[in-house]
Amino acid sequence: MKQQAIVRVAINVPISRLFDYLAGDHEIKPGCRVRVPFGSQNLVGVVLEVSDKSDLPTKKLKLVSKVLDSIPLYSATDLRLLRFVSNYYHHPIGEVATIALPALLRQGKPLVPMFKQLMATKLGEKCDLNTLKKRAPIQSKILAELKQTKAMPLSNLDKKISGWRSPVKRLVEKSLVEISVLPKKSTEYLFDLPIQEGPPLTRDQNAALAKLRTKKGFQVSLIHGVTGSGKTEIYLNLIKNALKSVQQILVLVPEIGLTPQILKHFQERLGVKPAVYHSGLTDTERLCAWRSARSGKAQVLIGTRSAIFIPFNCLGLIIVDEEHDSSYKQQDSLRYSARDLAILRGKQKNIPVVLGSATPSVESLMHCREKTYSLIELPKRVGKAVLPKMKLIDLTHHGRPDGLSGPVVESIKKALDTNGQVLVFLNRRGFAPTLVCSGCGHVSECAQCDSRMTVHAQTNMLKCHHCGAQRPYEKQCTVCGATCNPLGHGTERLEESLRRSFPSQRVTRIDSDSTRLKGTLDKALMNATSGETKILVGTQMLSKGHHFPNLILVIVVNADQGLFSTDFRGAERLAQSIIQVAGRAGRELRQGKVLIQTAFPAHPFWQQLLTGNYYAVMENEFEEREKSAWPPFSRIALLRATAIRRNDAHNFLEYARILADNAGVAGVRVLGPVNAPMERKAGRYRAQLLLQSSKRQNLHEMLLKLRHKLEGSAKARRVRWSIDVDPIELF
């Protein structure tokens, strides 16, 4: 008797192993999806291996219930990536394989989406509509539509005729119409569109391109180009070059960097419509983009972090724009870094990877120091534009009743008088971060978190920015009944005070509250770019990547929080956010100015940033981190646990600590467990254990041992726990 094939399937369950099934009569290749019985369910999984043996006796194995793909979704290289991700991030392989897929494929839907088409039969075409109309007006209406359009997607009726479902059913029963299920046509990714020529390149740009073009095969380059140095132009030239040899290009951008303007710009300059991949698409749109990249139809794909998992047909180049951006790191479930995986992908496929930023991460600069990445610098802005001048405004000397100090208001006035545009930056949305009682001093807090409620005046609500809880704005204190007052400033309040100070000017606020509705962000950005709005106020949404030609003044309202961050990345983050927002000023002919309000003007950080620029801050960072053995001078991972009861989280981590101490792995420091600084969030207590080692291998050996012991442990039942490798937020 012929031996039955055994397939090893990655199933979406939090268990770190594959599950064996009998293939039965099916011919199944690795990389295909299958449906398999699992407990009482029938789950979708991805076949990772086909084998002729199993550790279990054959008679204990169940049969695959259905094969969902006739051709593999993933190639052998793609499957290797999934395995690597699972091993490196210590995350169950089944969850990794699932997270990597678009939602529809995860649910077991076909690779090519289907739709139902409605058509009149011969009988239907001959049917007399007037007679039908008397007895069945809706049926007659549907038939009339079909006589006009011949065939249409069933879903089109939603917009045209209400209550169509049972009339259609009747029409089918009478054989007047028929419904067929057809594959949806995929999006056309047009190419050979008219191309707009770019500007002649500057000397620096040419030199950078010459360096980049000599690179064949795997090689990582970091373009450190100051804001406005024309990095996008370099990307466009590289992409054009790669397109000539019929290769696909993946461009990764931060979450808020994927604006319609960027897409338009790429299309005009490349003559190719790029495919897009981000979380704002519908499930079908995402699947379409994924398929086109997989088939090779999409030549250029611009996407946010999850695009790194797309199995491209013939990927030739990966570009990671704003490589320092924290949105490349997923902060829950599978905590991967798309930037780091881009480098792994490049290595696997033997293709170049280009990272770009005006404020590169310490990690990437370290690679340049060690010569594993090549550093390409663009130290000057393009054309006549120069970098803006930065100045501190000492808040110990100047009050700021409305959030803005006297000198700041004066400067805004001056800028507006000369028809310049102003950007007021504050990374805190809402009206005020605190609501406090004027009688007893009671502060409104979130019932679920150790945090204060933020006042949102426009919606008249108090919101918790950590768990999303909200309740109506309490005008009277719930304790003593006295009046409550908002304390401090958010973007909403700044918008209000700017309107008051400059009543004749248009003020536009851009943050995640003001741009919730589809299309609002695009419109606001257009008004900002055209110069129609003279005063912009907003969060980091405004600070990244944009080019507002008329902008000459940037105000940083409050930077002091960042000065005293407990996270070892505090200074790096603060320098990045200030340089990025400052980089919006003076990008064309007029000199830009940046005013930074601080109550600590003597802090050494300011000296480094203002006199020595980004490199000076980085130099200091290298020193500090080497001294205290933080990354990139060591490797770290966090074991996090949350529980409804405080003790459960701690007991679990104490247990993990004992396991770690006895694991017999040398050279790994274990710190904690400690409470997370915000100990309670969304009703759960949070604590963590930090693991640190100078050797990556030791750290991973330790994590592997811990993970296996913890997965099977009874102690794990009362907690939710996770491993975060290379965490970017320690708390």
Residue ranges that bind ligand ADP, judged by CB under 6 A: 199-202, 205, 225, 227-233, 382-383, 547
In whole angstroms, how close is the CB of 701 to Zn ion at the nearest point? 38
Smallest distance, Zn ion to C-beta of residue 640, A? 18
Nearer Cβ to ligand ADP (4/202): 202
CB of 560 vs Zn ion, minimal distance in Å: 24
Task: Give min distance, CB of 469 to Zn ion, in A.
Answer: 5
Q: Which does 230 bind (CB under 5 to 8 A by kind): Zn ion, ligand ADP, none?
A: ligand ADP
| 614 touches 575 (CB < 8 A) | yes
CB of 359 to ligand ADP, least distance (A): 11
User: Is-contact 222 368, C-beta < 8 A?
Assistant: yes
Rounded CA gap, 22 and 50, in Å?
Answer: 10
- Which of 363/445 has CB closer to Zn ion? 445
Q: Which does 467 bind (CB under 5 to 8 A by kind): Zn ion, ligand ADP, none?
A: Zn ion
Q: Which does 302 bind (CB under 5 to 8 A by kind): ligand ADP, Zn ion, none?
A: none
Q: Which does 466 bind (CB under 5 to 8 A by kind): ligand ADP, Zn ion, none?
A: Zn ion
Binding site partner of 199, from ligand ADP, Zn ion, none, Cβ cut-off 5-8 A by kind: ligand ADP
**Cβ at position 323, least distance to ligand ADP in Å:** 12
Q: Report what 693 binds from Zn ion, ligand ADP, none; CB cut-off 5-8 Å by kind.
A: none
Cβ nearer to ligand ADP, comparing 188 with 197: 197
Least gap, CB of 543 to ligand ADP (angstroms): 12
The entry of Zn ion, ligand ADP, none that residue 464 binds, CB within 5 to 8 Å by partner kind: Zn ion
Helix (H, G, I), strand (E, B) or coil at 196: coil
547, interface contact from ligand ADP, Zn ion, none, CB < 5-8 Å by kind = ligand ADP
Q: What is the DSSP string of 662-699?
A: TS--TTEEEEEEEEEEEEEETTEEEEEEEEEES-HHHH
Q: Which residue's CB is nearer to ligand ADP, number 382 or number 617?
A: 382
Contact partner, 346, from ligand ADP, Zn ion, none, Cβ < 5-8 Å per class: none
Residue 553: other Cβ atoms inside 10 A = 26
Which residues does 485 contact at the CB level (< 8 Å), separation at least 6?
435, 436, 437, 438
Using DSSP bridges, classify how beta strands 300-303 and 114-120 pair: parallel, antiparallel or unpaired.
unpaired
Number of residues lying near Zn ion (CB under 5 A): 7
Q: CB burial class (10 A; 0-12, 13-18, 19+) of residue 658?
A: exposed
Work out what residue 406 binds among ligand ADP, Zn ion, none; the CB cut-off runs from 5 to 8 Å by kind: none
Residue 378 or residue 649: which is nearer to ligand ADP going by CB? 378
CA dist 23 and 212 (Å) reads: 48
Residue 235 CA to residue 207 CA, distance in Å, equals 14
And the tokens for 308? 């790194």
Indicate the residue among 515 and 580 with the shorter CB distance to ligand ADP: 580
Please give the structure tokens belonging to residue 475.
């005008």
Q: Interface mask (CB under 5 A) for Zn ion, residues 445-484, using x and -?
A: -x-xx--------------x-xx-x---------------
611: number of Cβ within 10 Å = 9
SS (H, E, C) 502-540: CCCCCEEEECCCCCCCCCHHHHHHHHHHHCCCCEEEECH
Q: How far is the CB of 214 from ligand ADP (least distance, A)?
A: 21
Question: Cβ of residue 40: shortest distance to ligand ADP, in angstroms?
Answer: 54
Taking the CA atoms of residue 429, residue 432, residue 435 and residue 441 in that order, the dihedral angle to the nearest 10 degrees is 130
**Gap between the Cα atoms of 668 and 700, Å rounded:** 10
Beta bridge partners of 391: 595
Nearer Cβ to ligand ADP, position 79 or 270?
270
- Pick the stretch among 242-250, 330-338, 444-452, 534-542 that binds Zn ion (CB under 5 A): 444-452
CB of 464 to Zn ion, least distance (A): 3
Q: Which residues pair with 318 in a beta bridge?
A: 250, 353
Terminal C-alpha separation, the chain: 59
Of 472 and 712, nearer to Zn ion (C-beta) is 472
DSSP secondary structure of 380-423: S-STT--PPEEEEEETTTS--TTSS-HHHHHHHHHHHHTT-EEE
Q: Which is nearer to ligand ADP, 83 or 547 (CB)?
A: 547
Which chain residues interact with Zn ion by CB under 5 A?
446, 448-449, 464, 466-467, 469
